[in-house]
A and B are shown apart, each in its own frame.
Chain A
Amino acid sequence: MKKKSEKKNEDLRVGVFICDCGSNIAGHLDCPDVTEYAATLPGVVYTKENLYTCSEAGILEIQDAIKKNNLNRVVVASCSPRTHHPLFASSCEQAGMNPYLFEMVNIRDQCSWVHMGQKDIATSKAKDLVRMGVAKSISLEPEDEIESSVVRQTLVIGGGIAGLSVAESLAGMGLEVNLVEKSGKLGGLMNNLHILDSGRPAEEQVGEIAEKVLNSENITTYVGAEVKEITGYIGNFRATIQAGEETVQKTIGSIVVAVGAVPLVEKGLLGHNGKNVITQMELENQLKNGDFKAQKVVMIQCAGARNEEREYCSRVCCLTAVKNAMFIKSHNPLADVKVLYRDMQMYGDVKEKMLWDARGMGISFEVYDPTKPPKVSDDGKVNFHHVTMGQDKEVDADLVVLSTPLVAREGSVKVAGLMRVPTDKNGFFLEAHAKLRPLDFAADGIFVCGSAKYPVTSVEARTQGIGVAARVASILFKDKLIKSAIVAEIDEESCVGCMGCMNVCPYEAIIFNREKGVCEVQDILCKGCGNCASTCPSHSALLRGYKPEQLLAQIRAI
């Protein structure tokens, strides 16, 4: 194969593109002046100012300039490399330049935006930044992307509605799935619920999907099983599954975390005793088993949530409360059902309608003051400060139902540790981007769905589960994976095998070669963080694209 990174002996020909970003940059610094200045820098043969370099027109201008002027280095001075580096680099590649010879300078977020109203200073700083970028671009080397194979198998951890939906969808695409469920039965939390807001028994609905999963040829299900170890990387993970006595080794291309969450049960919380003060989940059990008898019911929302200890709103508890209140009221219209709340989180269409309907049925909703939380006495009296009436109130109850939040499973941090993926301070799994990558982890090939990430309704869990299948498919339908060349390398000659780098690598991408007595980087695992390079006492570990001579060139240009 012809390497793209083949070095050619040729003169350095740098092209510099200065972006106005509309008025974001040009409004606060003198772009034409910076452009003129860039043309005077050593190696620069072409300069251009664009209104929006990232626009289609701007990209075309870069590509044309590369072809017409034989550019072998391109520097774009614009916005954040985080959002735009991949676009510019791949555009350079399309025009025949090695993408690793592209360098980006941020004159917006770190210059025009922070020096608004100081045009002279901002312009002079932009010149400095551009000079540094050009100096670094000159020292860049062409690189080749890293390729690896893909095993068309998926490991799904968790057999609740989310995990089942992932498995069902992937199997429907003809992909093979290994589904691991810790408990003895598929279905997760939905097995414990009474009915769903649609009125359908929860167990029946999840049972239907579980049935499909169990009957699918493409799905191997391990019930009462646990994942013990995970090694490897996207396309080629190795998982050790403990299923009873048996230990199974599987090679898989991707992993999905769908371990769910559990409802908080805290003895003593607002008088919780499991008898006349119970949680919403305990009420579900009563309703399911037909043990429910109470005539006067008071539900308290945000019990143990949205407080200093647990700051988050658990999203599903308002829906659960309204659903159960409506069930009680519809079976016993004379029942007195009150819901004490802070904000009724009945977002969207169906839920808001339920709230209207619930009020219409005579369920009363009363706002309490979170700074003076309700007090529940042993005889079932609930005292609270009614916000909209501006006074303290006491209500009687045969049964007090606490809407407690879903909390992360105790084992979730351990599961996260298996794959070295992050969890947030509440123990929920942390996705790559809250808005734009809600189902991905930052680590490649690993995904998350359902309440493992943050409490969701059964419909949302199912939607996310099916959605994850598309994320997985986008990897597994590829013949091979291609990855950025910006990874670490260790010089065999100078490495003394001290293993200092191994200790600081968060991705366990470095192994010790006993035969040679040196450390080696598994480049497919390396994320290019540079920890090893900054730790190595013999300067043997280097990060491609950020080698000392490249960074020094940049610093010396200041």
Chain B
Amino acid sequence: MLDVGRHPNIELLAYSEVEEVSGSAGCFTAKVRKKARYVDAAKCTGCGACAEVCPTAVTDLYNEGHSTRKAIYSWFAQGIPSTHAIDTDHCRVFNGKKCGVCAKKCEAEAIDFEQQDKVVELEVGAIIAANGYTIFDPVKIPEYRYRDLPNVITAMEFERFLSASGPTDGHLDRPSDIIVKKEIADLEKLEKRSSRVITRLEEKHGAPSAEVAAKYDSGEVADEHKDWMAKFEDYNKLTEKLSVLKETAETFTTAKNLAFIQCVGSRDLRFFPFCSGYCCMHSIKEAIIAHEHDNDTHSAIFGMDIRAVGKGFDEYKVRGGKNSNISYKRSRVAEIVGGPNGNPVLVYEDTQKQKVVHEEFDLVILATACGPSEGVKELSEILDIEINQFGFFKTTPENPVDTTRDGIFVCGCGHSPMDIPESVAQASSAAARAVQTVTHENLLQVS
């Protein structure tokens, strides 16, 4: 990423979209909208001081919603370019409120609330669509109860949990436990506030609350203490709830018994009939890393086939089974239901024993499918290229990276679902086709 950012022959137009393409192979004109960041890229050093002072916390989608970022932000810390951008949906200034602390803080004077989108025209010989893919939303599969059971998460969420710079600093805390811990933290704040009020009332009236409450209940004291007593009751409820929660929290451990469910949305005629090609490997990888992190971890990977198909992949799968406490189960999980302690329970057929089994896990990870990227239809119209029956850009076996229009090529998951080595090799392939299109002799033919 940094190499691309620094390469003298590469002009990077991040946060930009192609709006119109005219011309033909060798001499295309592309209109590109550079969306306003409200931060001057020439001045911004990416120091992040603005984000530190920004008062508005926004759900961080880079961490799959498990942490927050600010309304002025960069997508992730090492992103290229490091130029920050303002999220106008959440920024106070763009919502008519008083703020602008980022502009005051920025020593480079890079914040520009008046910035406008800019449309640039590029003269290019060839175009490569490397538009990637969209991850399937498992909410569409009601039987897996994603979003309903907190301990059912997607592989991408799990990646963030495993990451040292992720929301849990790399520890496998269970989402349900995180919710409880957050609730405890919130209640503790409330309790503090409430206790201060009670103390003040006690000082004012010169008597301990409990004593007054006993008298109040038996009707000995008058109604003048009604408010106080109501507050005292609230306070008692709060502390009771808090102590129950704290007791529960003491039993919390990190997730050690993991289930990975393959083909979530893929190889499924309701959604994507095709295979995503890479999820078997990332589930194995995630299970191995989880085991490296905590040797007590056990993982079960549920799949119809384990498609460890690539150089060294099957060996990796076998090694995971031998050394990383992974068991591979040939089964399509029918349903996930809620169990005790927030543990999801998988209902599946153990094909080896021909029995329907209910099995409890600490955490369930859904290997969500790779689908055509959002906006692929719009892009196909802009580029005037065809889409195949699966929703990816159409190519032929003879010319595997050529789209249906001369001079426009495709690589990576815009072509079909594929893993990293295949994407990299295909990217080189698309580059070669682009070079052929723009080399001198071919250009002469065009003009």
User: Which A positions have Cβ atoms within 8 angstroms of B?
Assistant: 22-24, 27, 51-52, 54-57, 60, 87, 90, 169, 172-174, 196-198, 200, 205, 208, 306, 311-313, 315, 343-353, 356, 367, 387-390, 428, 434-439, 449, 453-454, 458-460, 462-464, 466-471, 473
Supposing A174-B439, A311-B315, A466-B429 touch, asked if A435 and B421 sit within 8 A by C-beta, the answer is: yes
Q: How far is the CB of A310 from chain B (nearest CB, A)?
A: 10
- Name the CB-closest residue of A to B317: A313
Whether B392 lies near A349 (C-beta < 8 A) is: yes
Instruction: Check B352 for interface membership: any CB of A closer than 8 A.
Output: yes
Of B169, B307, B427, chain A has the most CB atoms within 10 Å of the CB of B307
- Name the CB-closest residue of B to A60: B45
Whether A27 lies near B275 (C-beta < 8 A) is: no
Supposing A387-B330, A438-B421, A466-B429 touch, asked if A347 and B78 sit within 8 A by C-beta, the answer is: no
Give bound CA distance, A271 to B48, whole Å.
68
- Say which residue of A60, A169, A346, A434 sits within 8 Å of B432 (CB atoms): A169
Supposing A349-B417, A428-B311, A458-B397 touch, asked if A463 and B77 sit within 8 A by C-beta, the answer is: no
User: Which B positions have Cβ atoms within 8 angstroms of A?
Assistant: 2-3, 5-6, 45-48, 77-78, 80-82, 164-165, 169, 267, 273-275, 277, 305-315, 318, 330, 351-354, 388, 390, 392, 397-398, 400-401, 416-418, 420-422, 424-429, 431-433, 435-436, 439-442
- Name the CB-closest residue of A to B277: A347
Q: Kindly list 17 other residue pairs between chains A and B, CB separation below 8 angstroms, not including A205-B398, A349-B275, A388-B352.
A: A52-B77, A56-B5, A87-B2, A174-B439, A198-B397, A205-B397, A312-B314, A345-B305, A349-B390, A388-B351, A463-B400, A466-B428, A466-B429, A467-B428, A467-B432, A468-B432, A469-B432
Query: How many residue pairs, one in A and one in B, have C-beta atoms under 8 Å apart?
Result: 182
- Say which residue of A52, A344, A353 sits within 8 Å of B274 (CB atoms): A353
Residues on A with beta carbons closer than 8 Å to the beta carbon of B354: 388-390
Whether A312 lies near B311 (C-beta < 8 A) is: yes
Give bound CA distance, A467 to B418, whole Å.
16
Residues on B with beta carbons closer than 8 Å to the beta carbon of A346: 275, 307
Q: Which 9 A-B pairs have the closest CB atoms?
A: A467-B428, A343-B305, A470-B432, A467-B429, A349-B274, A454-B311, A347-B277, A470-B431, A313-B314
Residues on B with beta carbons closer than 8 Å to the beta carbon of A57: 45-48, 82
Give bound CA distance, A24 to B47, whole Å.
18
Give bound CA distance, A507 to B275, whole Å.
43
Of B48, B80, B277, chain A has the most CB atoms within 10 Å of the CB of B277
Whether A348 lies near B424 (C-beta < 8 A) is: no
Give bound CA distance, A41 to B390, whole Å.
62
Whether B82 lies near A438 (C-beta < 8 A) is: no
Residues on B with beta carbons closer than 8 Å to the beta carbon of A174: 439-441
Whether B330 lies near A173 (C-beta < 8 A) is: no
- Name the CB-closest residue of A to B433: A466
Whether A348 lies near B274 (C-beta < 8 A) is: yes
Q: How far is the CB of A556 from chain B (nearest CB, A)?
A: 34
Whether A353 lies near B273 (C-beta < 8 A) is: yes
Residues on B with beta carbons closer than 8 Å to the beta carbon of A458: 397
Residues on B with beta carbons closer than 8 Å to the beta carbon of A468: 428, 432
- Say which residue of A343, A349, A353 sits within 8 Å of B306 (CB atoms): A343
Q: How far is the CB of B408 from chain A (nearest CB, A)?
A: 15
Give bound CA distance, A409 to B35, whole Å.
54
Q: How far is the CB of B129 from chain A (nearest CB, A)?
A: 15
Of B274, B315, B433, chain A has the most CB atoms within 10 Å of the CB of B274
Q: How far is the CB of A475 from chain B (nearest CB, A)?
A: 13
Whether B425 lies near A439 (C-beta < 8 A) is: yes
- Name the CB-closest residue of A to B418: A348
Whether B428 lies near A439 (C-beta < 8 A) is: yes
Give bound CA distance, A474 to B272, whole Å.
38
Residues on A with beta carbons closer than 8 Å to the beta carbon of B81: 56
- Name the CB-closest residue of A to B436: A172
Whether A367 lies near B273 (C-beta < 8 A) is: no
Give bound CA distance, A349 to B441, whole Å.
36
Whether B401 lies near A352 (C-beta < 8 A) is: no
Residues on A with beta carbons closer than 8 Å to the beta carbon of B46: 55-57
- Say which residue of B78, B169, B428, B441 sits within 8 Å of A54 (CB atoms): B78
- Say which residue of B5, B80, B165, B425 sits within 8 Å of A463 (CB atoms): B425
Residues on B with beta carbons closer than 8 Å to the beta carbon of A439: 424-425, 428
Residues on B with beta carbons closer than 8 Å to the beta carbon of A90: 6
Supposing A55-B78, A454-B310 touch, asked if A352 and B421 sit within 8 A by C-beta, the answer is: no
Residues on A with beta carbons closer than 8 Å to the beta carbon of B306: 343
Give bound CA distance, A23 to B421, whole Å.
30
Q: How far is the CB of B68 from chain A (nearest CB, A)?
A: 16
Give bound CA distance, A350 to B422, whole Å.
16
Supposing A174-B440, A387-B351, A462-B400 touch, asked if A347 and B275 sit within 8 A by C-beta, the answer is: yes
Residues on A with beta carbons closer than 8 Å to the beta carbon of B330: 367, 387-388
Of B267, B311, B388, chain A has the most CB atoms within 10 Å of the CB of B311
Q: How far is the CB of A369 from chain B (nearest CB, A)?
A: 9
Residues on B with beta carbons closer than 8 Å to the beta carbon of A173: 432, 435-436, 439
- Say which residue of B45, B308, B352, B418 sits within 8 Å of A56 (CB atoms): B45
Residues on B with beta carbons closer than 8 Å to the beta carbon of A87: 2-3, 6
Q: How far is the CB of A117 from chain B (nearest CB, A)?
A: 12
Q: How far is the CB of B337 from chain A (nearest CB, A)?
A: 24
A–B complex contacts, Cβ < 8 Å, 11 sampled: A57-B47, A87-B3, A172-B439, A173-B439, A313-B308, A348-B418, A390-B353, A390-B354, A458-B397, A466-B428, A466-B429
Residues on A with beta carbons closer than 8 Å to the beta carbon of B305: 343-345
Residues on B with beta carbons closer than 8 Å to the beta carbon of A353: 273-274, 390
Q: How far is the CB of A88 from chain B (nearest CB, A)?
A: 11
Residues on B with beta carbons closer than 8 Å to the beta carbon of A312: 311-312, 314-315
Whether B401 lies near A463 (C-beta < 8 A) is: yes
- Name the CB-closest residue of A to B279: A347
Of B45, B47, B314, chain A has the most CB atoms within 10 Å of the CB of B314
Residues on B with beta carbons closer than 8 Å to the beta carbon of A24: 164-165
Q: How far is the CB of A254 from chain B (nearest CB, A)?
A: 14
Residues on B with beta carbons closer than 8 Å to the beta carbon of A387: 330, 351-352
- Name the CB-closest residue of B to A346: B275
Whether A345 lies near B77 (C-beta < 8 A) is: no
Of B420, B429, B432, chain A has the most CB atoms within 10 Å of the CB of B432
Q: How far is the CB of A344 from chain B (nearest CB, A)?
A: 5
Of A387, A390, A436, A438, chain B has the most CB atoms within 10 Å of the CB of A438
Q: How far is the CB of A483 from chain B (nearest CB, A)?
A: 17
Give bound CA distance, A353 to B269, whole Å.
10
- Name the CB-closest residue of A to B83: A56
- Name the CB-closest residue of A to B274: A349
Give bound CA distance, A90 to B77, whole Å.
22
Residues on B with beta carbons closer than 8 Å to the beta carbon of A23: 164-165, 169
Give bound CA distance, A196 to B397, whole Å.
9
Give bound CA distance, A390 to B330, whole Å.
12
Supposing A55-B77, A352-B274, A473-B435 touch, asked if A463 and B392 sit within 8 A by C-beta, the answer is: no
- Name the CB-closest residue of B to A471: B428
Q: How far is the CB of A501 from chain B (nearest CB, A)?
A: 34
Whether A438 lies near B309 (C-beta < 8 A) is: no
Q: How far is the CB of B109 from chain A (nearest CB, A)?
A: 16
Residues on B with beta carbons closer than 8 Å to the beta carbon of A352: 267, 273-275
Give bound CA distance, A466 to B431, whole Å.
9
Residues on A with beta carbons closer than 8 Å to the beta carbon of B398: 205, 208, 462
- Name the CB-closest residue of B to A457: B397
Residues on A with beta carbons closer than 8 Å to the beta carbon of B165: 22-24
Q: How far is the CB of B4 from chain A (nearest CB, A)?
A: 12
Whether B424 lies near A434 (C-beta < 8 A) is: no
Q: How far is the CB of B230 from chain A (nearest CB, A)?
A: 45
Whether A438 lies near B424 (C-beta < 8 A) is: yes
Q: How far is the CB of A408 from chain B (nearest CB, A)?
A: 12
Whether A460 lies near B422 (C-beta < 8 A) is: yes
Give bound CA distance, A350 to B396, whole Å.
11
- Name the CB-closest residue of B to A302: B314
Q: How far is the CB of B429 from chain A (nearest CB, A)?
A: 4
Of B273, B418, B435, chain A has the most CB atoms within 10 Å of the CB of B435
Q: How far is the CB of A346 from chain B (nearest CB, A)?
A: 6
